[in-house]
């Protein structure tokens, strides 16, 4: 039986552990009036975000549904403004990777029909 090969690959200090998500979940979209540009996002306990952070909402298949910016935080609720797309109730909200940000940038600009 051959001896197992020793792995000498150096670990980059900023590398994510194998299987770690690149898009950190921060919360979920909550109910808002139809056509509203501002949506509440319930934050996961322990989430550290600030006003001005750019977030991306995504559906269950992990496709981006909206590009968002935090405008206000009160307790565990962040008020987010839709920049692009049309997020849906209970969509996951994440701090996006560069790749997900690029995908979200391809969504149509937010429009109101009023």
What domains can you pick out in the chain, each with its CATH number?
Answer: 24-105 (2.40.10.170)
Comparing 57 with 5, the larger pLDDT belongs to 57
Cα–Cα distance, 94 to 45 (Å, whole number): 14
3-class DSSP assignment, residue 104: helix
Please list the alpha-helical segments (H only) found in the chain. 98-105
Q: Look up the pTM and report it.
A: 0.80
Which tens digit of pLDDT belongs to each residue from 45-57?
A: 999 999 999 999 9
């Amino acid at each position: 039986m051959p001896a197992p090969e020793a792995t000498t690959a150096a670990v980059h200090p900023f590398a994510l552990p194998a299987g770690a998500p690149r898009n950190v979940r921060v919360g979920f979209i909550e109910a808002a009036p139809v056509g509203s540009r501002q949506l509440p996002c319930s934050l996961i306990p322990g989430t550290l975000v600030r006003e001005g952070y750019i977030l991306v909402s995504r559906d269950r298949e992990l496709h981006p549904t909206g590009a968002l910016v935090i405008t206000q935080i009160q307790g565990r609720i962040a008020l987010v403004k839709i920049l692009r797309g049309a997020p849906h109730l209970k969509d996951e909200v994440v701090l996006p990777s560069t790749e997900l940000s690029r995908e979200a940038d391809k969504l149509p600009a937010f429009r109101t029909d009023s």
